[in-house]
Amino acid sequence: MKKFITMVLAVCLILVPSLSGLNNAHAAGTIPNEVSVKLKYHLKDKKTIPFEIKGTYQQAGNSDRKLSNTSFEVKVNGSVIELYENGKKIASYNNQFEINPVKYGKENYIRLNGRPYLGSIRFTIEKGYLVPVNTLPMEDYLKGVLPSEIYPSWHMESLKAQAVAARTYALKRIHTVMTDDVGSQRYDGYIWWDKTKYANTNEAVDTTKGQVLTYKDSLIDAVFSSNNGGHIESNKGAWPGGSQLDYLKAKKDNYDPAFDWGLQFKETQINSKELDLTKPQEWWNVTTEAGFKKPLEKEANVLNNLKNNIKTNHAALKDADIKIVALQDVAVSNTYTPGQRRTHGNYTINYFVKNKDGSFVMEEVEVNGKKVTQLKLHSWKQELVPIATMRNAFGLNDFKSHFVTTINLKDGVYDVKGKGWGHGVGMSQYGAKGMAEKGKTYKEILAFYYEGTAFTNYITSHVNNSLSGENRYETSVAIAEYGWANFQNVVIGRGDNPVDALTGSVLAKKHDAPLLLIKTDEIPQAVKELLSKQTIHEIYVLGGQAAISNGTVSELEKYATKVTRVKGANRYDTSVEVAKKIGSTKEVIITSGKSNSPDALSIASHAALNQVPILFTKAEELSTNVKAYLAENNISTVTIIGGKAAVSVEVEEELKTLAGNVKRVSGADRYATSIAIVNEFSLDPRNLFFARGEQFIDALPGSVLAANMEAPLILTKKDELPDAVKEYLDESIHFVPAIHYLGGTGAISTDTRQAIQNEILK
């Protein structure tokens, strides 16, 4: 039989790990390092949540519904979420709905019940309450975590250690939905806009951007707690069900200040001998536990925690009124974990119950030979339960750890003393602070708490995506396979001259189709194999016989129910014919029709996303068919892409007479123009597509994929990162986006890719 020491303990968990595996509750979409977080800490048990839009958001799946600089309210009504504006219901949604910033960044954010959040918000229902889910890039998420987990005034090296641990912890759970409380990591949203108050924690995230810890090339479970009491716990000691991890072993920690904690509570809370148990209605409302009348240290908290725990474990008592009569047999075993924590515990709670309807739970007993109906004394006896179960009962924030040193029962009062705060596994936040103050670097701190681990950067392993093949035709296939599991329509362009295919991205987006490249007189084998795997309704062929021969079109007919050639007498007329296929619009984009101009590629993502036709022009004159299209379709808005050498002032003036509203978006060169487009239009930088600006035909098929992700397409040189691109990455990208390279290292060199990553990681 196990010997017991009379004592009580619990633990305030900073992190609850998932050492046994992960559940794919919700993936964060197309961005591999985006975090999704349930917002429960500040929004617990809410049936109504007011929110305010700063900037512009749009409803997911319905970009026409914009929410701009206005206050709203969401309410739950059964399984329906209702959206209100100025007290008037404007929409209803079954189970959930999502709103996204038109462009991710600090200019667009949302205040939920007054608290700011960046990124997307998905309103869901759980157990009859609203639960918003916030999705945003990892680095911006961490800036909302650090000041909630650690004091911003602490030594910078301890802050950086916390940033790496928190990043590693979150990245390991990237395909789950975490919470904003200690069940995952504390997260307070976009509080870090106050750069003065949170300058240090922001710097800690930025200077370690992307850094994570691995063990044998796999992400570690970087759990941490506030204070370990001077001795690190092993993961198996804290969570016995799992396997012991080499980097989470128990050992002494001389850097941890080993904080002491204590609390007291009375053994007897209500003297039932002084009460008439046959008439509880006479005294119930005027009788309360001793711990509420004159509470000892944390005693009132303990009583409330125990009552809640009783209700949680006894469903029938969920809405009952409970009075605790006595706490007895509070003890823990004298068996220890590797980290000197206790393993099991005992406790007994005696209590009375009043039902929700006002009745009392009574029982028939025999008193002096007579049967009497009186208030029933319930007794919940817990013997040899896991110490974590005991901790939950007495309260996470009051019994601070399993590291209990003494407990005495004297004069009817339990006096509990212990060390540490949290589970004690992995890094101690106060220990990290102590190491930093003794001159240790953040890498030395992490090496001490996670022995044998290595540093890596997730920008290399998680967010770099090279969409390429052996040649441009195979590259178009690789892009299609990445972006479309299945498709019923295809747009085909000529692979040796980009002109006709440049305008095809808008048409491809309209039909949810990939854009594939083929030869004039031949369908490459990789394209054939891809087409043969799909059930294709229609293939659109861009350009005349000089672009794609009739023989090749005939061969394409083997793969689809219908093949439609979209052509004009020349590239300018072909762009008009493509525009006609797109449908009714009052807006067009005008770009240079030269084969070596990538301006149409740079604007393709925005144009395709918004279904705005791209029309070609000569530098000095508009073609007859382009002018006719503008007139016949009553085009009222024209955007010129490129400088005056690409589209002259004379053409611009003529467009003003035809359409009225004309604007030009351009930069000093093709690279600066691509950046000007990103800054001008609502393209989401959480995905960034990079294409070679000198020879860009490999990138054409990627423009449709970029449009599907609402992402910009940025031009770079093969062997050099242009200054305009550097400046954009430095000034606008304060997180780590998903990076997509269109083409292999023959299109964008390894050195240029590294330069892009280095700019992002600054």
pLDDT at residue number 756: 95
* More confident position, 627 or 660: 627
Q: Residues of the chain with pLDDT > 70: what percent? A: 96
Q: Which amino acid is at 619?
A: A
Distance CA 3, CA 6 (A): 10
- Per the CB < 8 A criterion, the answer to whether 690 and 711 are in contact is no
SS3 letters across 393-458: HHCCCCCCECCEEEEEEECCEEEEEEECECCCECEEHHHHHHHHHCCCCHHHHHHHHCCCCEEEEH
Give Dmax (Cα) for the chain.
115
DSSP 446-505: HHHHSTT-EEEEHHHHTSEEEE--SSHHHHHHHHHHHH-S--SEEEEEESS--HHHHTHH
Sequence-distant (≥ 6) Cβ neighbours of residue 145 within 8 angstroms: 166, 170, 185, 186, 187, 188
For 203-252, the pLDDT digits (tens) are 999 999 999 999 999 999 999 999 999 999 999 999 998 899 999 999 99
Average pLDDT, the chain: 92
Distance CA 426, CA 443 (A): 14
- Per the CB < 8 A criterion, the answer to whether 445 and 241 are in contact is no
For 593-633, the pLDDT digits (tens) are 998 889 989 999 999 999 999 999 999 999 999 999 999 99
- Given a cut of 70, whether residue 24 has pLDDT beyond it is no
Q: How confident is the model at residue 407 (pLDDT cuts 50, 70, 90)?
A: confident
For 552-600, the pLDDT digits (tens) are 999 999 999 999 999 999 999 999 999 999 988 899 999 999 988 899 8
Pairing of the two strands 637-641 and 661-665: parallel
Distance CA 351, CA 377 (A): 6
The mean pLDDT value for 696-721 works out to 93
If you compute the radius of gyration of the chain from its CA atoms, what whole number of angstroms results?
Answer: 33
pLDDT at residue number 2: 35
The mean pLDDT value for 700-723 works out to 94
For 281-303, the pLDDT digits (tens) are 999 999 999 999 999 989 999 99
Distance CA 237, CA 311 (A): 29
Distance CA 247, CA 40 (A): 31
Measured CA distances, 276 to 280, 287, 322, 372 (Å): 7, 12, 17, 12
Q: How confident is the model at residue 699 (pLDDT cuts 50, 70, 90)?
A: confident
pLDDT at residue number 30: 53
Distance CA 257, CA 432 (A): 10
Helices (H), 184-298: 199-207, 235-238, 290-293
How would you list the strands of the sheet with 344-354, edge to edge? 4-5, 321-333, 344-354, 378-386
- Per the CB < 8 A criterion, the answer to whether 670 and 695 are in contact is no
Q: How confident is the model at residue 63 (pLDDT cuts 50, 70, 90)?
A: confident
Burial 442-463 (b: 16+ CB within 10 A, else e): bbebbbbbbeebeebbbbeebb
Of the candidates 619, 448, 479, the one whose C-alpha atom is nearest the C-alpha of residue 493 is: 479
Of the candidates 588, 565, 561, the one whose C-alpha atom is nearest the C-alpha of residue 500 is: 565
